[in-house]
Amino acid sequence: MQDGAGEAAPALEPWQDDFATIYASGLFDHIGYATRYPDVGLTDLSPLEHYVKYGARLGRRPRADFTAPPDETFDGSFVNPFAAWIRARAETQPAPAWNRPVVSVLCITYNQAAFIRQTLDSILGQATDFPFELLVGDDRSTDGTAEIVAEYAARHPNLVAVLRSENLGPNRNFADLTERCRGEFVAICEGDDYWTDPRKLQRQVDFLRARPEFTLCFHRVRVVYEDMPGVEELYPKQCSPQPSLSDLVAHNFVQTNSVLYRWRYHGAEAFAFDEGIAPGDWYVHLMHAEVGRIGFLPEVMAVYRKHAAGMWATYATELARHKKLGNSEIAFFRKLRGHFGGRYAAGYEAAQKSIFRRLAEAYLDEEDVPSLGRLIEANPDIARAALHDMGLDAPDALSGEPDALRAWLMEQLTVSVIVTAYNHAAEIGRCLDAVLGQRGLFRMQVVIGDDTSTDGTAEIVESYRARHPERIVVRPRPQNLGMLRNMQDCLSACTGRYVAFCEADDYWLSDRKIAMQMRMLRNDRSLDMCFNWVLLHYPATGSYLPHDEQGRYPTGTISFPVLANSPLTANFSCCFYRAEALRRVPEAYYENASAADWLMNLYVADKGRIAFLRELLSVYTVQAKGQWSGLPEDIKNARIAQYQKEFAGIFGEGRGFEKYEVGCTVAELDGELPDSFARANLEAPQDRVWAEIQDGQVVLAGWVVSASRAKATLVVEVDGEVQRIPVDVHRPDVIAAVLGDIPTTMEEARCGFRFTLPYALHLEVLISIEVEHTVVPWLSVIFTHRVKRSGQQG
């Protein structure tokens, strides 16, 4: 159906008329112009819009072989020389004999017999005041899809059925259809999606005709899940009313079946659509967005269907998709990086490396060296840098050959495990089995220090050494050294880049413990140590309980004040270190009678950073007669208080060993926040109010409501580092109080924020508010502290 009247288009500005003429000719060199005149990249204008507004008057060349003098009159009589030349050229050329359609709709399909009728009906049912064509490329379906397409083609003369004799794959199938299309505009609807508004095409064509400087427009779609009836969402949920190329470079918010392009490739410029890149639709969006503006229509006019047979939905996880399409995805960002360069290059390189790292980590976990080698060989431009980000220092000439690659990995990934024992004959076999059973791509050395046991422990240790001579080193003990000196001697024999501990009466639950903790330290070179969640075993009762205090923390870094407040690391058997961090621990540690894992980890945290892995990976046996675990709770608490005083003498007061209070001073930046931009309130912390801090964290909470009702984001700067905090906490009370309106959806009510920061002395936080790419400074929050005195009120 191709009837119905569109709205009358408003008169165009002269520069818009020139833009439309030049764009339609296909003769403007978009890339060449931007390259010759790099100042264009400093604006938000496309190369062609820059040329018709400014460049032509400056005498700039729209293509290498066209020159014209600059405008020296500035009296309003200037005529764009390139547009005039194109119009004169068109007058001398005969008009085409065929009736050219205004829109070409491209539909690729493969084995979508269950959906294709709804797709075709929704396209052919469009009410327009212009002719359009529908090109359907069936990629040699085997389920009857091709027969359905042929049936529709027989009834609809504007449907061109392209039935493949061989399977081309989605990219080649699509590229072939683009070579056949004749429309000024191009829309896409794949064979399992459909349109819901019969005036979708008319609305989008009217929009682009009224705005020649816009080269694509899109709208919201409804996402439905075939396998989960009743579950649906809108996409995009949030979008700027005027999205930019920079926005689209950062994130693909344009759903394929929502877009209409002012097709770029009718002239001399060829459409280069490589078979090996994915996602292809994002690439086409970007190629059009770089030569014009992006339009957004907020109406919902289509359905994007997710189902088990869909191209992207067939992968159960993101990793599964990367394993199938990873090199194509990396190639996609490589192509964009080479094409756009400049300010976008770093972002695209980061995207390439992110996919590479996910795949490489998976292959390391699976000990799949051949696949890792193929990944390296396929991506030589980023492999070395990506591996460096994974904590692996690759040589300049890194080989993907499996044997050479395995040898290099075994040089990089080395760990020494220290097992300290004294009269643990009943438990040490279980401990050593857990240690020797670790899986992963690393070389492991086990250093055992038996401190002159008398119960047969030494004989058990020797039997294990005899079976694993290449992995086990047993330290000689002519006399009992005590726990700390025993550990120090074992440490002197370690050769690994990383060090783990497993005390002989403890054991590890997971055979991936070392691999998981090593990965945590590899991926963050600033971390010196990490510890896992501990399962406490009480032999007297036979019970197992997760460590309660550890369980209150998520995976992430642990600040020095948090560790100073409590012996959170539990015991050595859950700890994993960089070897150089342990070598920095002073000799005085081994001479301190109160020293244990707590003090050692404070030394490590004092010089570097530590982190918690919220995974139950090890068992700590709480012995009734243990040096620590055998003590009554009141004595434990008294010793903790005593140790905190001693540690304060080592590391300095005010670092978390005492209960302390934090106060803050809140001041507005650059005056009061204008209501025309946003209204906002910091609810916590309150200005000049003291509050007790027990976990080393300060909480900042409040709300922001933008004047435009668009989503806001906090831009938070601490010590020169900037982080973006989403404003997404559900606060319907704020909307009702501030705007006098009851929110109708969950999204409308998401105007609150809450985040935490590790407390440090003289912490200063600068907070700005970003709405629709405009950033306005808001608050300065400066924290101070005082030790809480007995009986003192906040």
**DSSP code string of 191-245:** TT-EE--TTHHHHHHHHHHT-TTEEEEEEEEEEEETTSTT-EEEESSS--SS--H
For residues 274 and 254, state if they share a domain. yes
Rg (alpha carbons) of the chain, rounded to whole number? 33
Q: What is the number of structural domains in the chain?
A: 5
What is the domain extent for residue 29? 14-91
For residues 375 and 262, state if they share a domain. no
What is the pLDDT confidence band of residue 171, given thresholds at 50, 70 and 90? confident
For residues 591 and 682, state if they share a domain. no
> What pLDDT does 348 receive?
79
For residues 564 and 484, state if they share a domain. yes
DSSP state of 673: P
> What pLDDT does 670 receive?
76
537 — phi, psi (to 5°)? -110, 125
What is the pLDDT confidence band of residue 787, given thresholds at 50, 70 and 90? low
Domain assignment of residue 331, yes or no:
no
Nearest to 288 by CA among 200, 169, 204, 186: 186
**β partners of residue 784:** 663
- List all residues 6 or more positions away from 679 whose beta carbon is below 8 Å from its beta carbon: 673, 704, 705, 707, 738
The larger pLDDT score, comparing residue 314 to residue 537, is at: 537
556-566 mean pLDDT: 85
Evaluate if residue 785 carries a pLDDT over 90. no
707-717 mean pLDDT: 88
Evaluate if residue 462 carries a pLDDT over 50. yes
Q: Encoding tokens for residue 620?
A: 């700590």
> What pLDDT does 308 receive?
61
pLDDT digits (tens, 9 = 90+) for 299-340: 999 999 986 655 444 444 556 766 666 677 888 888 777 777
> What pLDDT does 199 receive?
97
Q: Give the whole-number percent of the chain exceeding pLDDT 70.
A: 88
Evaluate if residue 610 carries a pLDDT over 50. yes
For residues 143 and 173, state if they share a domain. yes
Domain assignment of residue 633, yes or no:
yes
Evaluate if residue 551 carries a pLDDT over 80. yes
Distance CA 483, CA 627 (A): 10
186-208 mean pLDDT: 96
What is the pLDDT confidence band of residue 35, given thresholds at 50, 70 and 90? confident
Label residue 59 left, alpha or beta by phi (over 0 means left) and psi (-120 to 50 means alpha). left
Residue in the block written with tokens 């790292």: 357
pLDDT digits (tens, 9 = 90+) for 724-771: 999 988 888 888 787 776 665 666 778 899 998 877 767 889 999 998
Task: Identify the three-state secondary structure at position 427.
Answer: coil
Evaluate if residue 579 carries a pLDDT over 80. yes
Domain assignment of residue 718, yes or no:
yes
pLDDT digits (tens, 9 = 90+) for 357-402: 999 999 999 999 999 999 999 999 899 999 999 999 988 888 899 9
463-468 mean pLDDT: 97
Evaluate if residue 273 carries a pLDDT over 90. no
Task: Mean pLDDT check: name the lowest of 229-238, 322-331, 482-491, 624-633.
Answer: 624-633
Last residue of a domain, one of 306, 330, 352: 306
For residues 233 and 266, state if they share a domain. yes
> What pLDDT does 688 receive?
84
Q: Encoding tokens for residue 176?
A: 């072939």
Evaluate if residue 694 carries a pLDDT over 70. no
What is the pLDDT confidence band of residue 95, given thresholds at 50, 70 and 90? low
> What pLDDT does 45 receive?
84
Task: Identify the three-state secondary structure at position 32.
Answer: helix
Report the Cα–Cα distance between both ends of the chain, in Å, rounded: 74
* H/E stretch holding 787: strand 774-787
> What pLDDT does 423 receive?
94
> What pLDDT does 720 receive?
81
> What pLDDT does 793 receive?
43
Evaluate if residue 2 carries a pLDDT over 60. no
Last residue of a domain, one of 306, 335, 366: 306
The larger pLDDT score, comparing residue 406 to residue 275, is at: 406
What is the 3-class SS of 509-532, one letter each residue? Answer: CCCCHHHHHHHHHHCCCCEEEEEE
Label residue 124 left, alpha or beta by phi (over 0 means left) and psi (-120 to 50 means alpha). alpha
Inter-residue contact 2 to 130 (CB < 8 Å): yes
Last residue of a domain, one of 91, 121, 144: 91
Evaluate if residue 629 carries a pLDDT over 60. no
Domain assignment of residue 133, yes or no:
yes
Q: What is the mean pLDDT of the chain?
A: 86
Q: How many CB atoms lie within 10 A of CB 525?
A: 13
> What pLDDT does 11 receive?
79
339-343 mean pLDDT: 67
For residues 424 and 393, state if they share a domain. no
What is the pLDDT confidence band of residue 343, given thresholds at 50, 70 and 90? low
Nearest to 255 by CA among 290, 231, 273, 279: 279
The larger pLDDT score, comparing residue 468 to residue 394, is at: 468
For residues 29 and 170, state if they share a domain. no
> What pLDDT does 783 receive?
84
Most confident of 85-89, 382-386, 491-495: 491-495
> What pLDDT does 774 receive?
85
Domain assignment of residue 326, yes or no:
no
Distance CA 220, CA 215 (A): 18
For residues 268 and 140, state if they share a domain. yes
Domain assignment of residue 733, yes or no:
yes
For residues 557 and 640, state if they share a domain. yes
Evaluate if residue 789 carries a pLDDT over 70. no
CATH of the domain at 745: 2.60.40
What is the pLDDT confidence band of residue 427, given thresholds at 50, 70 and 90? very high
For residues 641 and 673, state if they share a domain. no
Q: Encoding tokens for residue 39?
A: 């100042």
CATH of the domain at 611: 3.90.550.10
For residues 450 and 509, state if they share a domain. yes
User: HSE (CB half, 13 Å, CA atoms) of 600?
Assistant: 25
Distance CA 197, CA 203 (A): 10
Task: Mean pLDDT check: name the lowest of 377-391, 461-475, 673-687.
Answer: 673-687
Domain assignment of residue 794, yes or no:
no
523-536 mean pLDDT: 95
Evaluate if residue 105 carries a pLDDT over 70. yes
- List all residues 6 or more positions away from 625 whose beta carbon is below 8 Å from its beta carbon: none
Q: Is the peptide bond before 69 cis (omega within 30 degrees of 0)?
A: no
Task: Mean pLDDT check: name the lowest of 457-466, 518-527, 530-539, 654-663.
Answer: 654-663
Domain assignment of residue 363, yes or no:
yes
Distance CA 31, CA 777 (A): 36
